[in-house]
Amino acid sequence: MDAAGLTALLAPDGWALLSALPPYDEKLAMPLSQRLRAEGLDPVLVSAALTQSRLRAKAHTKLGDFADGMLFTQAGLEQATRLEVAAHHARRYRDAGLTHVADLTCGIGADAMAFAGVGLRVTASDVDEMTAAIATVNLRHFPEATVRHGDGLTQDLTGIDGLYADPARRTAHGSRLFDPSAYAPPLDAVLSLREKVPALGLKLGPGIPHSALPDDAHAQWVSVGGDVVEVGLWFGPLAPEGPGRSALLLADGASTVVAPGPDGPFDAEAGPVGAYLYEPDGAVIRSGLVGEVAQRVHGRLVDPTIAYVTSDDLVPTPTATAYRVLDTMPFGLKRLRTYLRERGVGRLTIKKRGTAVVPEQLRKQLDLRGDQGATIVLTRVAGHQQVLVVEVV
């Protein structure tokens, strides 16, 4: 959306059109566009309204019903923080006793909305003029929030006691950036601001290597419904846990924190496959705290290098998905094909870790026949390729 489209949408007739559009349907978008233009509506307005309708529909996954009153850019929506995660961010600042947060890279304003929603004063900035304008619209209901167009890293920090940043981590063509120095703004430039304001928080991609994280940060990997969405870096009063690592698991309205004990992360040993297999949540794996899951379920690793836990006990835990182990065998195509055909398996779920096998290629090679379903796990056990036949508990 360009400036002309935004201007058209913000006019009373434009906003009324956007509000009156039916739920977005890709199949009906073109006929609807043609009908609205035939009725004499400005093509620029029609295009902008339908684009926003499409983006609002996609935004419901992240922002729920709040999306219906917001404007978006495609890039801004992709980077926007999910509502429940932004709420956790905001509570960190509130619980630290902070009052005025500078959102240095506000994007469309999702985190700034959460900050303002818990009563914090917010100064939000974005270097892109269109994005800053959209954030202004999205924050219109929060008088304690101010949006500025400009570089948040160069603004006057007088009176500000908390900083937040979500650096852009994609190229102009949409490719992911893995070098922190290539972020916009670069990671080191943001980190340098904690010398002025110690209460600094950052949202980064969950794939960042542990070696790139500052020693004084508390790094918390976050998953939503099992999907790992970010790692937050928290400094100073925003990290009451102190430097280190943890995982925050959000699912079904509940939250679970996985953190090492006072003596550090639990060093789980490897051992034979037991009656149950546990697949730790992705945030637990990313944070390097699989040993904590093993400790919770009285278990052990299937292999020192593999993030699967096995146990003789069934212990309900939100930190991992539990499977009952039905059978185990060394990996071999002929053996596995015979095993599945004897049981009439025609529907197969293939999970893997620590193996080069490509599930879709294996599925074709197995030539499945039958009407039964099954789940197999391809992994290493004590250094050897194994097949575990399992069922979800």
Identify the pLDDT of residue 93. 98
Extract the runs of DSSP E, i.e. beta strands, from 235-315. 244-251, 254-258, 276-280, 300-301, 309-311
pLDDT category, 324, cuts 50, 70, 90? Answer: very high
pLDDT category, 336, cuts 50, 70, 90? Answer: very high
Task: Indicate if the pLDDT at residue 1 is higher than 80.
Answer: no
What are the CA-CA distances from residue 212 to residues 66, 153, 183, 201 (Å)? 35, 21, 13, 16
State mean pLDDT over 59-81: 95
User: Percent of the chain scored above 70 by pLDDT?
Assistant: 100
Type and span of the H or E element at 79: helix 74-79
Mean pLDDT taken over the chain: 95
Identify the pLDDT of residue 364. 94
Identify the pLDDT of residue 220. 98
Identify the pLDDT of residue 38. 96
Task: Indicate if the pLDDT at residue 103 is higher than 80.
Answer: yes
- pLDDT tens track for 296-314: 999 999 999 999 999 999 9
Distance of CA 197 to the CA centre of its chain: 27
Q: Hunting for tokens 């899951």 — which residue is that?
A: 293
Give one DSSP letter per residue of 23-49, joined into a string.
Answer: SP-HHHHHHHHHHHHHTT--HHHHHHH
Identify the pLDDT of residue 263. 85
Q: Which of 92, 93, 157, 170 is nearest to 125 (CA)?
A: 157
Burial of 39 (0-12, 13-18, 19+ CB in 10 A): exposed
Identify the pLDDT of residue 112. 98
Q: What size, in residues, is the chain? A: 393
Distance CA 338, CA 320 (A): 31
Residue 357 φ then ψ, to 5°: -60, 135
Task: Indicate if the pLDDT at residue 281 is higher than 90.
Answer: yes
Whole-structure pTM value: 0.92
Extract the runs of DSSP E, i.e. beta strands, from the chain. 100-103, 121-126, 145-149, 162-165, 200-204, 218-224, 227-234, 244-251, 254-258, 276-280, 300-301, 309-311, 320-330, 345-353, 372-381, 384-392
What are the CA-CA distances from residue 335 to residues 158, 259, 326 (Å)? 70, 41, 16
> Which residues, listed in sequence order, are joined to residue 309 by a DSSP beta bridge?
278, 301
State mean pLDDT over 180-192: 94
